[in-house]
Chain A
Amino acid sequence: MHELSIACEILEQVMATATEHGATEVKHVTLQIGRLSHTNPEQLSFCFKAIAEDSIAKDADFIVEMIPPSLECECGYTGPIDEKQIQENCGFTSELLAYAAVMDCPICGKHARITGGRELIIKSIEIETENQD
């Protein structure tokens, strides 16, 4: 359970950006989370709300976009994994395992290197400011 420390980091970054832009309220925080990372979006949102209680981000909602894994193979292929294979692997007990099991190159079938899918990116925030005009 490391969602709390990650939520702290997110709040710190969000508040710095919001303050810099003169925000009176943070409405949304858009996150991009890699499917292979061990971050639980619901827990993260819960922790964020708990620590943001006294801040202008207290009512902010999380918008979560999941990032599919991507690969780099010695044959020269760089790009996403074969999503079709994931569907064929639906018998797997967990989504993470289904993804981890298809890390072979969709072109040549060799074991490829993971280049994406483990991120946790604060993509953007939506803030409210007072109109100074």
Chain B
Amino acid sequence: MLMLMHVINMGHDVYKANDKVAEKNRKKLDKHQVFSVNVMGAIGSGKTTLIEEAIRQLKDKYKIAVIAGDVIAEMDSSRFRKLDVPTIPVNTGKECHLDAKLVEKALDEIDLDNTDLLLIENVGNLICPVDFKLGEHLRVVIVSVTEGDDIILKHPMIFKTAELAVINKVDIAHAVDVDAEKMRDDILSLNPNVPVILTSKHDWESLETWISFIELGVKEVQKK
């Protein structure tokens, strides 16, 4: 029997397929006037802590929901639930990032009519979440000084595509021999227009700056 060879054109973009679901998520969030934040950053950068602080300060003013993505999501979820906000744990299993489909499923479990702000904690790492949009309004990357001041240039794309960059734990920068200002300069060299804020959980003023950024977004979306 004669075998024939064919070339079949496909043109299927794997990331675009994710982007399409992300767009759907975004439309859904817009329709319900929910401002959503994708919080990315390495393990131990302080994502959960900074989200907790934002919840504490904003929960009397706005209705907040949280999606907690992690390899085992139950641990962070229980921290958020203690603050009395609806929390959806999303176990990613062996996966190193949240994707738009996982968020789409989680959105089904949230009462969006009764939500003003959705905080999404991504899986802790600086690489995998970059390529997967979720449909968020604000992409935040949190980096801590304990990661070393060369961490930014080692992970350019996450800082390049972030819409807000937070350098956390600056109170211990000296102890770990890191220059937080160098980190800020590195971020701005990659992404000159991104707002960069320096935070520490022990410095109330710095937390206020972080929280005011989120509140600004909530107000923006509610105006529409």
The CA-CA distance from A114 to B160 in the complex, in Å, is: 10
Per the bound structure, the CA–CA distance linking A39 and B16 in Å amounts to: 14
On whether the beta carbons of A128 and B4 are closer than 8 Å, the reply is yes
Residue on A nearest B156 in the bound complex, by CB: A100
| B9 close to A123 (CB less than 8 A) | yes
Minimal Cβ-Cβ distance residue in A for B161: A114
Whether A124 touches B157, Cβ cut-off 8 Å, given contacts A6-B14, A38-B128, A130-B1, is no
Tell me if B97 and A101 are in contact (CB < 8 A).
Answer: no
Given contacts A96-B157, A119-B15, contact A17 B10 (CB under 8 A): yes
- Nearest-Cβ distance from residue B136 to partner chain A, whole angstroms: 17
The reply to whether the CB of B153 lies closer than 8 angstroms to some CB of chain A is yes
Residues 115-142 of B contacting A (Cβ, < 8 Å): 127-128, 130-131
Bound complex: CA A28 to CA B13 (Å):
17
Interface residue ranges of A1-47 to B (CB < 8 Å) = 1-2, 4-6, 9-10, 13-14, 17-18, 21, 24, 27, 36-39
Give chain B residues whose Cβ lies under 8 Å from the Cβ of A111: 191-193
- Are B6 and A127 within 8 A (Cβ)? yes
CA distance A103 to B156 in the complex (A): 11
CB distance from A49 to the nearest CB of B (A): 18
Q: Does A101 contact B190, Cβ atoms closer than 8 Å?
A: yes
Does A75 sit at the interface, judged by CB under 8 A?
Answer: no
> In the complex, are the beta carbons of B3 and A129 less than 8 A apart?
yes
- Among B3, B10, B13, B154, the residue within 8 A (CB) of A125 is B10
Report how far A119 CA is from B15 CA in the complex, Å: 6
Taking a contact as CB atoms under 8 Å apart, the answer to whether A13 and B5 are in contact is no
Contacts of A65 in B (CB 8 A): none
Within the complex, the shortest CB–CB distance from A37 to chain B, in Å, comes to 6
For residues 87 through 103 of chain B, which have their beta carbon under 8 Å from a beta carbon of chain A? 94-97
Q: Are A128 and B5 in contact (CB under 8 A)?
A: yes
A-B contact pairs, 21 of them (CB 8 A): A2-B95, A2-B128, A9-B17, A10-B14, A13-B10, A36-B157, A38-B130, A38-B131, A111-B191, A111-B193, A119-B13, A122-B12, A123-B9, A123-B11, A124-B9, A126-B6, A127-B6, A128-B6, A129-B4, A130-B3, A131-B3
Interface residue ranges, B against A (CB under 8 Å): 1-17, 94-97, 127-128, 130-131, 153-154, 156-157, 160-161, 189-193
